[in-house]
Structure 1
Amino acid sequence: MNNIRTVSDTKRTFYSLHTRPINSIYRRVVEELMVEMHLLSVNVDFSYDPIYALGVVTAFDRFMQGYQPSSDQDSIFNALIKAQQDDPQKYRGDAQHLTELAKTLSVKDLIVNLKASPDEVAETELLGYFRTVATNPKWKYSRLYAIGLYTLLEVADPNGIQDKATGEQILTQLAEALHLPQDKLLKDLDLYRSNLEKVAQARIMIEEMTQAERKKREQRANEAVGLN
Structure 2
Amino acid sequence: MTNLRTVSDTKRAFYEYHSRPINSLYRRVVEELMVEMHLLSVNADFVYNPLYTLGMVTSFDRFMVGYEPEQDKESIFAAICRSVDGDPQQYRQDANALKADLSGLSLSELNTQLANAKTTDGDNLQGKLYMVANQANTKYTRLMAVGLYTLFETVDASSLDDKDKREEMLKTAAEMLALPAEKVDKDLELYRSNLEKMAQAQEVMKDILEAERKKREQRAQAKKDADAATATETTTATAAEQDVTEEDTADSES
> Would you say same fold, with TM above 0.5?
yes
Q: What SS is found at the alignment partner of 1:103? A: coil
Does residue 50 in structure 1 map to residue 43 in structure 2? no
Does residue 12 in structure 1 map to residue 23 in structure 2? no
CA 67–89 in structure 1, closer or farther in 2 if over 3 Å, else same: same
Ranges in structure 2 where 5+ consecutive residues have no aligned partner: 231-254
Equivalent position amino acid for 1:31 in 2:
E
List aligned pairs for 1:173-184, cutoff 5 A. Answer: 173-184=172-183
Q: Following the alignment from structure 1 to structure 2, what is the Cα–Cα distance between the partners of residues 102 and 208?
A: 37
Equivalent position amino acid for 2:42 in 1:
V
Give, in angstroms, the shift of residue 25 of structure 1.
1.0
Give, in angstroms, the shift of residue 38 of structure 1.
0.6
Residue of structure 1 equivalent to 2:86: 86
**Comparing 106-115 and 58-67, the one that deviates more:** 106-115
Give, in angstroms, the shift of residue 115 of structure 1.
4.2
Q: What SS is found at the alignment partner of 1:24? A: coil
CA 115–163 in structure 1, closer or farther in 2 if over 3 Å, else same: same
CA 118–166 in structure 1, closer or farther in 2 if over 3 Å, else same: closer
Q: Following the alignment from structure 2 to structure 1, what is the Cα–Cα distance between the partners of residues 105 and 47?
A: 24
Paired residues in the alignment total: 227
**Comparing 217-226 and 25-34, the one that deviates more:** 217-226
Give, in angstroms, the shift of residue 114 of structure 1.
4.6
Q: Following the alignment from structure 2 to structure 1, what is the Cα–Cα distance between the partners of residues 117 and 85?
A: 37
Q: TM-score, normalised by structure 1?
A: 0.92
CA 71–206 in structure 1, closer or farther in 2 if over 3 Å, else same: same
RMSD in angstroms over aligned alpha carbons?
1.9
Does residue 40 in structure 1 map to residue 40 in structure 2? yes
List aligned pairs for 1:1-228, cutoff 5 A. Answer: 1-116=1-116, 123-227=122-226, 228=230
Equivalent position amino acid for 1:39 in 2:
L
Equivalent position amino acid for 1:166 in 2:
K
Equivalent position amino acid for 2:48 in 1:
Y
Q: Report sequence identity in percent.
A: 53
CA 201–14 in structure 1, closer or farther in 2 if over 3 Å, else same: same
Q: What SS is found at the alignment partner of 2:179? A: coil
CA 69–42 in structure 1, closer or farther in 2 if over 3 Å, else same: same
Ranges in structure 1 where 5+ consecutive residues have no aligned partner: none
Residue pair 1:55, 1:146 contacting (<8 A) in 2 also: yes
Q: What SS is found at the alignment partner of 1:46? A: coil
CA 117–221 in structure 1, closer or farther in 2 if over 3 Å, else same: closer
Give, in angstroms, the shift of residue 225 of structure 1.
2.2
Give, in angstroms, the shift of residue 156 of structure 1.
1.4
Give, in angstroms, the shift of residue 217 of structure 1.
1.6
Q: Following the alignment from structure 2 to structure 1, what is the Cα–Cα distance between the partners of residues 169 and 123?
A: 20
Q: Following the alignment from structure 2 to structure 1, what is the Cα–Cα distance between the partners of residues 205 and 218?
A: 20
C-alpha offsets along residues 50-76 of structure 1, whole Å, 9 cap, x if unaligned?
A: 111111111001111100000100110
C-alpha offsets along residues 23-55 of structure 1, whole Å, 9 cap, x if unaligned?
A: 111111100000000101111110111111111
CA 45–58 in structure 1, closer or farther in 2 if over 3 Å, else same: same
Equivalent position amino acid for 2:100 in 1:
E
Residue pair 1:102, 1:153 contacting (<8 A) in 2 also: no
CA 117–4 in structure 1, closer or farther in 2 if over 3 Å, else same: closer
